[in-house]
Structure 1
Amino acid sequence: MVLKSAKLRLHLLASRTHKWLAIIIGAQLLLWFASGALMSFLPIDRVHGDHLVDRKAAAPLPRGSTFAPPSAIVGAADAPIEAITYRMWLGRPVAEVATAKGTRLFDAATGQALPAPTAREAEEIARLAWRGGARPAAKVERIERASPEYRGTLPAWRVAFADLDSTRVFVAADTGRISAVRTGTWRLYDFFWGLHIMDWTNHENFNTPWLLAFAIGGLALWLGGAVLLYMRWPKTRRRNIVIEA
């Protein structure tokens, strides 16, 4: 009798625990499934804004170009050089020089340091990469701090186009490269990503205590259901068969 009473109390405890876990964890499970389905549905190239901005387009260096010797760039740099990359930038060959103090642009022909890209040059870079049809109006703003919308190289220029997708093109203020593109599709994706990883502020921390707690809660929900299933499973009773001689 005591054993039956203990089993009954265990059954009630498991049933109540499972019910409350199902209510609490179930809401987040719904968000996980819904956000995961939506993020899988959205094409990643539209999320990246590739249909509006061609950030990978690069003009080849002209044949027969005469560049300044690396020693001239080394002498103009004010820090030890880690790497030099030659490329075209706004119709002219430049040397992108990475040093311990950061990255700067140099004139590839003379070896002289170039001034940092201006707001006008940032807008020109964004417009050269624009592939969204009509040329919309744009507003350029300098970004000094990271935000949920942009966590790339700082400082940067934000070129905000007045198109239907509210496209934002971020141009690094040191290299003049397009470092990020943000569109309405990206913002929708990022919103559901924040719900998915339970980082509602920065949308980047995959190891939040909330995520860990709900993941463990989901495991406990399954274990509780398994215990209840075992306790409620119908047991086959053996029947005594009497054979008369």
Structure 2
Amino acid sequence: MSVLPIERVHGDHLIDRSAQNITIDADHSALGRILQTVGRPVREVRLRSLLDRPVVEVEGVDSSLQLFDGQSGHRLSPLNEQWARSIAMGVYRGAGKQPPTALHIAQASTEYRGPLPAWQLAFPDEESTRIYVSANTGRITAVRNGTWRLYDFFWGLHIMDWKNHEDFNTPWLMAFAAGGLVLALCGTVLLYFRWPKKRRKPKAL
């Protein structure tokens, strides 16, 4: 796993992440309407740009996320396929020339364990790039490619979680860790008994 560049594993060469982090000013009157529309206690309000338009991302105290238009105050989430496709194509900088295929994701999988619901945009390039877009915020939540899948395969072997590739407390891992500890202790004891001891020379009469 150390041989694979972590930047390629994360897919940094395939998308432009800076486009997701632009903060802007929004219409304060629209912001007031948005807070009234939410109808629940709010933890944080984030103003940013999405597809060159101002949007307001509202996080409730229950960790729920909603997205609103920063000018009209209209609710945008959950985003539809057209939105997700435009977002993915706007940040993608790989070699694929054809538009991606979209798939709505409602359940976590080995490849994607991020916020749900989400959209999977699969690009027909050499790396089989898949960009995941949160349906509630429009943010890029994951990028998967061939390098990531190879890394994840060996990671699953490393932690001995053959299914989800994320559990460090599997019985297999604990059994091998205990076995390794026992072997180390036994080796230390054997080394002590096998270590050559200094013999005293007999005294001359």
Q: Same fold (TM over 0.5)?
A: yes
Q: Please say if residues 161 and 168 of structure 1, whose CA atoms lie closer than 8 Å, have aligned partners that are also in contact.
A: yes
Number of the residue aligned with 2:106: 144
Q: Over residues 111-169 of structure 1, what are the superposed CA-to-partner deviations in whole Å (9 max), with x where a residue is unaligned?
A: 22225211121111111111113423411000110011000000100001111111110
Q: Please say if residues 130 and 145 of structure 2, whose CA atoms lie closer than 8 Å, have aligned partners that are also in contact.
A: yes
What is the RMSD computed on CA atoms of the aligned residues? 1.9
Gaps (5+ residues) in structure 1? Answer: 1-38
**SS of residue paired to 1:121:** helix
Number of the residue aligned with 2:52: 91
Runs of 4+ in 1 over 6 A off after TM superposition: none
**SS of residue paired to 1:147:** coil
Are 2:66 and 1:104 equivalent residues in the alignment?
Answer: yes
Is the helix fraction higher in 1 or 2? 1
Number of the residue aligned with 1:77: 38
Question: Following the alignment from structure 1 to structure 2, what is the Cα–Cα distance between the partners of residues 195 and 58?
Answer: 33
Question: Following the alignment from structure 2 to structure 1, what is the Cα–Cα distance between the partners of residues 75 and 196?
Answer: 82
**SS of residue paired to 1:181:** strand
TM-score with structure 2 length normalisation? 0.91
Q: Please say if residues 118 and 134 of structure 2, whose CA atoms lie closer than 8 Å, have aligned partners that are also in contact.
A: yes
Q: Please say if residues 24 and 47 of structure 2, whose CA atoms lie closer than 8 Å, have aligned partners that are also in contact.
A: no
Are 2:29 and 1:68 equivalent residues in the alignment?
Answer: yes
Task: Return the letter of the residue paired with 1:156.
Answer: A
Q: Please say if residues 68 and 108 of structure 1, whose CA atoms lie closer than 8 Å, have aligned partners that are also in contact.
A: no
Task: Return the letter of the residue paired with 1:209.
Answer: P
CA distance 1:97–1:136, shift in 2 (3 Å): same
**SS of residue paired to 1:71:** helix
**SS of residue paired to 2:57:** strand
Question: Following the alignment from structure 1 to structure 2, what is the Cα–Cα distance between the partners of residues 154 and 61?
Answer: 24
Number of the residue aligned with 1:7: none
CA distance 1:105–1:239, shift in 2 (3 Å): same
Question: Following the alignment from structure 2 to structure 1, what is the Cα–Cα distance between the partners of residues 30 and 53?
Answer: 17
The structure with the larger Rg is: 1
Q: Over residues 28-47 of structure 1, what are the superposed CA-to-partner deviations in whole Å (9 max), with x where a residue is unaligned?
A: xxxxxxxxxxx112111110
Higher relative contact order (CA 8 A, sep 6+): 1
Are 2:158 and 1:196 equivalent residues in the alignment?
Answer: yes
Question: Following the alignment from structure 2 to structure 1, what is the Cα–Cα distance between the partners of residues 44 and 198?
Answer: 76
Q: Please say if residues 79 and 101 of structure 1, whose CA atoms lie closer than 8 Å, have aligned partners that are also in contact.
A: no
Q: Please say if residues 168 and 183 of structure 1, whose CA atoms lie closer than 8 Å, have aligned partners that are also in contact.
A: yes
TM-score with structure 1 length normalisation? 0.77
Partner of residue 88 from structure 2, selected from 126, 140, 143: 126
Which range is displaced more, 97-106 or 184-193? Answer: 97-106
Task: Return the letter of the residue paired with 2:52.
Answer: G
Q: Please say if residues 68 and 110 of structure 1, whose CA atoms lie closer than 8 Å, have aligned partners that are also in contact.
A: no
